[in-house]
Chains A and B, each alone.
Chain A
Amino acid sequence: MFTKLSIRRALALPLALMTCLPLFAACSDDTDTPSGGDTTAPKYVIGVIPFSDTAAEQIEWNNYLNDYVAAALNVEFKFVPAPGTDSDAAVRGVEELKLAGCQGILGVVDTVAAIEKANELGMWYVRGGGLSTQENYDAVKDLPYYLGTMGPSLEDEYAAGYSAAQYFVANGSKDILVYGALLGLSIPSDMHVQRFYGIRDALIEAGAVYTEPTSGSVVLGPGIGEFATGTSGLNISTIYGLAGYEAIDPTFNERFTAAVSGKSFDTILMSAEGSQDVNTLLSGVGITGARMNEVGAFTPTAQASFEAGILQYLVGKYPSSMGPSVVALINAIDGHADVVKAADGTGSRLQGPFWNAGSLEEFNERMALDAVANPAFNKEIMENYIVRLHPDVTRETFAEFAALDYDALAKLHK
């Protein structure tokens, strides 16, 4: 018989599904496209393996690819969920992108098994948005379908940490907390390590004394040691781990609170992004007004941090910095992988520099060059390095294209 309970439950499912209908409708791929797309260009299908499904940096990259590049260069992008560091999930992502008809993959992850699988399936693979570790690069550099890495070099990463520390010390910082990000966790990252080394060396140059961590104090991976004041006049504390990533570092908040309680800080030197998360934790223990840097990305989140006065110095990637990686894939799909790969046929390690901003004004100035409708790496600039359209493109000119910095891009836009 129909009981109240059974009727209520029977109605609940259709009602729940009806509630979801607008979501399904919104799932359609009707997106506004920029005008002037190259309708005569061959249709390319490129897969994207993101490093995160939610990080602001990745979302800005995705928006640039979907909302601008797709129409400008006649590319269809297909995405799989971010595999994190799960190698099996990354391999599954590659397989699914192959089934979806992708000719190449723009991977923002550094998983050897995934790159090997792409090679096995005959798909071009470029590691965009950053570097591979030397060990991973060595493992895949000889694969025929591996194009290489495109993004800031290890030297850029080091300089990002160094310049931030130098900036704050020169601007009167006294009580400093150094945030080591992935150092000390089980996911060592050459990028974070180099940024920390940059910070460390700038502080040592200012007169601080650094002691390497003893094995007992290192949780896992390369850890952070301790700073003594020395001749610097600086009080420096350290914290390892990631704020705002509970899945990776579930105990960070407790460690952070223990490390900062009872102290005062005027500056937080960050080896990664996350200024808002750190600021929230600081506020929780009554520390306000600390100045911070970020090594991250030019995103609305960073802009909000600047506007809130939390962030004072940013070194980071920007939404259209993925442009050269897409052009690399297009060239490879067209049969011109030689202009992307190194002279000896191995995967290249092409440099794509960071942008810097020391104020909200500088931040806004840079973002103006990277507008959604006319990004820094726009259609005109990118097409100049597509061999199909410009047969005079060489390995050297392509490397110069990938290495265009803010000033060079600004000149090209004038």
Chain B
Amino acid sequence: MSAETVTASKKGIDLRVVMGMLRRLLPFAGLALLIVLYLISTNFRPTSLHIQTFIDQVATMAIMSTGAVFIFSLGSFDISLGVGAAVSVCLGIMAYNAGAGVVGMFLVCLVVGMAIGFVNSVLSAVFRMPVFVMTIAMMSVLTATLQILLGGKTDLRVTTTMVEPIKALDNPYLRLGFVLVFFLICLVLFNFTKMGRRNKVLGGNPKVAEQTGISIAKQTILTFLISGSAVGIAAFLLIARSRAVTANTGVSLGMDVMMAIVFGGMPLAGGAYSKISAGIIGSFSMVLLSQILTMQGITTGWSQVYKAVLFLAVVFVASFSYREKMLSRAEMF
């Protein structure tokens, strides 16, 4: 029995314990509530279109969010994920239009996503730049890169005469397959390998991690490569879906991923309580919420107010106790 529980049983209910439980249960309870509301919105008869649309919308976000959990578990966040996906989409379409075929396009998306992740990781690990600040700068660099790749055009599309094989990829079962496989790989990596455990230790306290022999640079590079692979796979699915890239592709996706991870119950500071399920749970919740609000005819402005209020509520609960539980890094060393 932990000291905290002993305190709770001896001196009555400790509010922090209650809030801690609430924090752990809230994402699942929230998702369950949203499923009920979704069913009500569809008169308890979701059609195949409902299910297909849900899968189509959730797949990209779920994969990117799951990959981003690795970075979040370090206590950081890569804000350039969305535009990174857009650059991958752009180069993937270029490769496909140049005759690389579907497999070639997939590999280009994957390699570009991982390459962007690698650059980010080197800047973070080798030059010790704060991830969030560094990725803000990278976002500008990648946006400029995308604009240059677009060459002053509004968008870049899959060549009309070559579009049929891409249309064939626009399949919910394929998306679901990608989500399941990627999630299972990440689940194993995060929960059952040294790599995942080291991430949690590093997120909990970098100094402690370093003193226990964990190579921060190596761990950071691995983390960003996993996240980059998620970006690449998401880019491939984005091409299958819209067959085009514009200067603003992925802008909303990047922010949605951040919100999804928090909705999914990820501790704001990362560390030992990080959960790989946060990406999936949060993405499902975000997409359900968005669809419910549209189906209910909530106008755009109010829809955003609802989302913002819910987000703040989740952040509040998620942040309730983590500061008090964290060791003071400044005082330790």
Contact = CB atoms under 8 A, between A and B. Distances in A.
A79 B299 contact: yes
Nearest to B140: A250
Contacts of A29: 297
B309 A78 contact: no
Interface stretch (A4-12, A152-160, A306-314): A4-12
Interface in B3-59: 7, 11-12, 14-16, 19, 49-50, 53, 56-57
Interface stretch (B124-132, B178-186, B210-218, B250-258): B250-258
Contacts of A26: 302
Given A10-B19, A112-B157, A85 B247 contact: yes
Interface stretch (B110-118, B237-245, B270-278): B237-245
Contacts of B242: 87-88, 90-91, 113, 117
A83 B248 CA distance: 9
Of the candidates A87, A96, A98, the one having the most CB atoms from chain B within 10 angstroms of its own CB is A87
Nearest to B238: A88
Interface stretch (B73-81, B147-155, B191-199): B147-155
Interface string B289-333: 011001101111111111001001100110010001000000000
B60 interface: yes
B7 A186 contact: no
B302 A27 contact: yes
A198 to B, nearest CB: 21
B284 to A, nearest CB: 15
Interface string A81-116: 111111111111001111111000000000111001
A96 B300 CA distance: 12
Given A13-B313, A23-B305, A186 B244 contact: no
Nearest to B16: A6
A186 B243 contact: no
Contact of A1 (B11, B250, B294, B312): B11
A188 B53 CA distance: 31
Q: Interface range on chain B: under 10, 10 to 19, 20 to 34, or 35 or more?
A: 35 or more
Contact of B49 (A82, A99, A111): A99
Nearest to A135: B154
Nearest to B290: A96
Interface string A1-43: 1110111011011001100100110110100000000000000
Contacts of A81: 300, 303-304
B246 interface: yes
A56 to B, nearest CB: 14
Of the candidates A7, A78, A139, the one having the most CB atoms from chain B within 10 angstroms of its own CB is A78
A13 B244 CA distance: 43
A186 B250 contact: no
A67 interface: no
Contact of A188 (B152, B290, B304): B152
Nearest to B245: A87
Interface string A53-93: 10000000010001000000000101111111111111110
B251 A86 contact: yes
A133 B152 CA distance: 14
A343 interface: no
A42 to B, nearest CB: 18
Contact of B309 (A5, A20, A62, A80): A20
B285 interface: no
A100 B295 contact: yes
B2 interface: no
A186 B291 contact: no
Nearest to A27: B302
A191 B148 CA distance: 22
Contacts of A289: none
A87 B244 contact: yes
A133 B261 CA distance: 38
Nearest to A91: B242
A46 to B, nearest CB: 12
B161 interface: no
B149 to A, nearest CB: 10
Contacts of A101: 295
A146 to B, nearest CB: 15
A80 B299 CA distance: 7
Interface string B207-234: 0000000000000000000000000000
Nearest to A110: B154
B152 A221 contact: yes
Contacts of B153: 188, 221
A187 interface: yes
Nearest to A221: B152
Contact of B157 (A2, A50, A76, A139): A139
Contact of B244 (A27, A112, A222): A112
Interface in B134-186: 147-148, 150-155, 157, 160
B249 interface: yes
Contacts of B305: 20, 23, 27
A136 to B, nearest CB: 8
A236 B18 CA distance: 69
Contacts of A79: 299-300
B324 A186 contact: no
Interface in A180-218: 186-188, 218
A18 to B, nearest CB: 11
Contacts of B15: 2-3, 6-7, 10
23 contacts: A1-B14, A3-B15, A12-B316, A16-B313, A27-B305, A29-B297, A53-B300, A53-B301, A79-B299, A81-B304, A85-B154, A85-B155, A85-B246, A87-B245, A95-B53, A95-B56, A98-B49, A112-B157, A113-B241, A139-B160, A220-B147, A220-B151, A222-B152
Given A3-B15, A86-B252, A133-B154, 18 more contacts: A2-B15, A6-B16, A13-B313, A16-B312, A17-B313, A23-B309, A53-B304, A66-B299, A79-B300, A85-B154, A85-B249, A86-B248, A88-B249, A88-B250, A88-B253, A96-B295, A117-B242, A186-B152
9 closest A-B pairs by beta carbon, nearest first, are A113-B242, A96-B294, A186-B147, A221-B152, A85-B246, A27-B302, A85-B248, A87-B242, A86-B248
Interface of B: 7, 11-12, 14-16, 19, 49-50, 53, 56-57, 60, 147-148, 150-155, 157, 160, 238, 241-253, 290-291, 294-295, 297-306, 309, 312-313, 316-317, 320, 324
Interface of A: 1-3, 5-7, 9-10, 12-13, 16-17, 20, 23-24, 26-27, 29, 50, 53, 62, 66, 76, 78-92, 95-101, 111-113, 116-117, 121, 133, 135-136, 139, 186-188, 218, 220-222
